[in-house]
Amino acid sequence: MATTNSITENVVHEEGLYTKLDRIFSTPSAPGVAYSLEIAAKDDFDVGLLERLVPQPVFCSLPWISDDNLRYSDDFLRAPTMQLSAQLRSAHYTVVNHVSCYNITEHQVDGLLASGVQNLFVVRGDTVQEEQKFQHSASLVHYLRKRQQESTLPPRLTIGVGGYPYGHHQSSSQAQELAYLREKIDHGVDFLLTQTLYDAGSFFRYRDRCRQAGITIPIIPGIYLPHSYRHLQVMLRLTRITLTAEVDAAFAAHADDPPEQFEAFVLDHFAGVLRELLEPNRTSSADAIKLVHFFSFNKFPLIQKMLQKLDDFFLQ
């Protein structure tokens, strides 16, 4: 890939994500539901498979691999995730780049902004150092907004943060967790994306708590379709989520299924979760779910099967 000074170079002007989200969530009568994808910067990524998805995603997000990205902090454009960002933008996809507080300095944040990113998903990361500047994602969100006001960055930097329907392992209570979340949002967050969901009830209860706490920004449910029982267990350990007894038993019953049978169960289970999430849209526009996020792990054919299974909801 040719070296450039910005991931926005040689890319046709695209509609800003803030404008897209505003149109999606501010139009009560808008038909159907849109979706977004998290993509991994791995060797198995195939842009052709992504381009064949019907419908197409509103945006693609790219996780922040701290050690990998910071290794290139003298020139972020050389990092694999940033090179994939440029590839996706050249193919006319809107990209949301993740950024973690872990070990990142103000100078490095400035370098990331100078690379041309327009949309960021801010996470704290599991570990931060006592001496580092950004101890929490709220401080990083605050710094990003401050830098945007002081410089000639794009007209609107769109910022998202994570939400935890099953609780954050570092929070002592739901009240403390919501207080931290409210602090982040008060610094200028545009949307909230939840961790992986395995049932609809957890999302609705979490959204109710957020609304009662005065959090009004869009809350996007995050859906992960495990491609094996082993991978599900890895994800549960990684995200520190404990499934309800009922959901855990349902997955465990299929632990030894052959791949095709396990996939069929996964599609049926999460189609049920999504229908429960989206059915209220049919009768009320109040706080309707207009956007769903899929953690794809580059398994685009599996995502396509889910979209087809719910084609009465997703925009075609």
Cα gap 97→62, rounded to integer Å: 5
Q: Locate tokens 């842009």: which residue?
A: 47
Whether 16 maps to a domain, the answer reads no
Whether 298 maps to a domain, the answer reads yes
Whether 21 maps to a domain, the answer reads no
The CATH code of the domain that includes 41 is 3.20.20.220
pLDDT in tens, the chain (316 residues): 344 455 555 444 567 899 999 999 987 666 789 999 999 888 889 999 999 999 999 999 999 876 777 787 778 888 888 889 999 999 999 999 999 888 888 988 998 888 888 899 998 765 666 677 887 889 999 999 998 888 766 567 999 999 999 977 666 678 888 988 999 999 999 999 999 999 999 999 999 999 999 999 999 999 999 999 999 999 999 889 999 999 999 999 999 999 999 999 999 999 999 999 999 998 888 899 999 999 999 999 999 999 999 999 997 6
Residues sharing a CB contact under 8 Å with residue 131, sequence separation 6 or more, in sequence order: none
Provide the domain count of the chain. 1
Whether 269 maps to a domain, the answer reads yes
Whether 18 maps to a domain, the answer reads no
Whether 5 maps to a domain, the answer reads no
Q: Which domain holds residue 79?
A: 32-309
Cα gap 309→292, rounded to integer Å: 15
Cis peptide before 55 (omega within 30 of 0): yes
Whether 228 maps to a domain, the answer reads yes
Q: What are phi and psi of 6, to 5 degrees?
A: -160, 145
Residues sharing a CB contact under 8 Å with residue 15, sequence separation 6 or more, in sequence order: 94
Q: What are phi and psi of 262, to 5 degrees?
A: -65, -40
Whether 14 maps to a domain, the answer reads no
Q: How far apart are the first and last CA of the chain?
A: 33
In the numeric block, which tokens belong to residue 52?
A: 């064949």
Q: Which of 32, 36, 55, 59 is nearest to 285 (CA)?
A: 32
Q: How many residues does the chain have?
A: 316
